[in-house]
Structure 1
Amino acid sequence: NGEEEILYNGELSNVQAIQNASNAYVYGFEFGLEAFLSDNFSILSNLTLTEGMEEDENGNDTPARHVPPTFGDFHLIWRNQRLKTDLFLNYNGQISFNDLAISEINKSYIYAKDADGNPYSPSWYTLNLRSQYQIANPLKITFAIENITNQRYRPYSSGIAATGINFVLGLSFRF
């Protein structure tokens, strides 16, 4: 009934509600490329562009919550009969302070600060190398180095810093 507080089980409590926007518009494009340059060498790339607006309580369009920035990947792949090596870049675009949703501006603790001290989501990239070697028909070993340049970054709106340089070793056996 529009009250800010309510008496519940004898205790005065604040009324809180998660409410969706009355209207929201999300649109975007995804582009992909797969090019085979030779029998052993190929390029694979994906790019996703999204935008979103939602209507606030006054009927004004504002940036929508949780619409990710531009993101994508770019792979240089070399393979022969037993070995596959993939050098790839993962990247994310920036969301400036003016393009953050109002609800995200209030969560300044999960974002970087721009030159004016305002929260924003900076762009980032990681350079990675993954290799697989087929030892025998059912046995494969995988080795990867992720985030080779040891970038400090946070995936958009997560509030959690991703890992630095990371080494992965795996062994798979298929029956």
Structure 2
Amino acid sequence: MGLGNPNIDDIGKIRENNGLLVVPNTFLKPEYAYNLDLGIDFRSLDNSNYISLRGFSTIISRHIGRDNYTVFSDITTPDLSTIIYNGEEVTTISNKNLGNRFIHGFSIDGFSEVYNNLKFNYSLTYTKGDDNDNYGPLPSISPLFGSLAMSYTKKDLNIKAMFKFSEAKNADEYSFGGEDGLDETPFIFENERLIYLGTPKWSDLSIYASKNISSDIILRFGLTNLFDTHYRTFASGISAPGRSFQIGLNYKL
């Protein structure tokens, strides 16, 4: 069981974005999370193989999320759902307690040494939140993502290839309150309307290598984002770096 007290930002934020104005709600109450976690680990006797399986389910009571909010003392517009803010009519929303919500998912992590010098590491994470008819999808639910790494080590040479990926998160899977930044995702114009598309799926392949020149000197190379993919991880407003070449020299004093 966990307790989530609303912070100053939850209670007192005032911010306008794309015609939606977040207003304070001093009646906000704490939310509670009831968790169930199950896991299985397996490790071979020679420690060359390992796998961890985890599953979880969470019930959030009095879930805090954004929803329409009426400022009853406002008479700047005849519409109870809007006010005049900085000279413009905006719709008011606020953080509110929206009842019970449910989250479940699983993760897989592990490694396997195929040969003495060749090793694979892998991970996969899946999370699913319920889609409420009244309040829409839960915020901060990432799409399926994972990674696979292959490393080869022999004497003074180490080579590693890392593949990362994420599935897409469509616009209809974003929360109604705008917490996840749908307005920062790709968009199209259709019938004179701006339509956001959500987060596209992406993958990233990078290669790293290091060579011990001597006991005191290590030479390092890296080629990241090999295919120069333009992507952003979910809920990030910053694009990942494009293709880049790295070289470094470590010297022990």
* Same fold (TM > 0.5): yes
Structure number with greater CO (CA < 8 Å, separation at least 6) is 1
SS at structure 2 position matched to 1:102 = coil
When the two structures are aligned, how many residues end up with a matched partner? 167
With 63-72 and 101-110 compared, the bigger mean Cα shift is at 101-110
SS at structure 2 position matched to 1:65 = coil
More strand by share: 2
In the alignment, structure 1 segments of 5+ residues that lack a partner are 7-11
Q: Distance in 2 between the 1:154 and 1:33 partners?
A: 26
With 34-43 and 131-140 compared, the bigger mean Cα shift is at 131-140
| Alignment RMSD (CA, Å) | 3.2
Q: Which residue of 2 aligns with 1:3?
A: 71
Q: Percent identity?
A: 19
SS at structure 2 position matched to 1:98 = helix
With 21-30 and 119-128 compared, the bigger mean Cα shift is at 21-30
Q: Distance in 2 between the 1:74 and 1:40 partners?
A: 17
Q: Which residue of 2 aligns with 1:9?
A: none
Does structure 1 conserve the Cα–Cα contact (< 8 Å) formed by 2:140 and 2:180?
no
With 29-38 and 113-122 compared, the bigger mean Cα shift is at 113-122
Q: TM-score, normalised by structure 1?
A: 0.77
With 163-172 and 83-92 compared, the bigger mean Cα shift is at 163-172
Q: Pick from 224, 239, 242: which aligns with 1:161? A: 239
Task: Specify whether residues 135 and 120 from structure 1 end up closer, same or farther in structure 2 by C-alpha distance, changes over 3 A only.
Answer: same
Task: Specify whether residues 70 and 174 from structure 1 end up closer, same or farther in structure 2 by C-alpha distance, changes over 3 A only.
Answer: farther
Does structure 2 conserve the Cα–Cα contact (< 8 Å) formed by 1:72 and 1:91?
yes
In the alignment, structure 2 segments of 5+ residues that lack a partner are 1-25, 27-69, 75-83, 87-91
With 16-25 and 134-143 compared, the bigger mean Cα shift is at 16-25
Does structure 1 conserve the Cα–Cα contact (< 8 Å) formed by 2:122 and 2:147?
yes
Q: TM-score, normalised by structure 2?
A: 0.56
Does structure 1 conserve the Cα–Cα contact (< 8 Å) formed by 2:174 and 2:182?
no
Shift of 1:165: 0.4
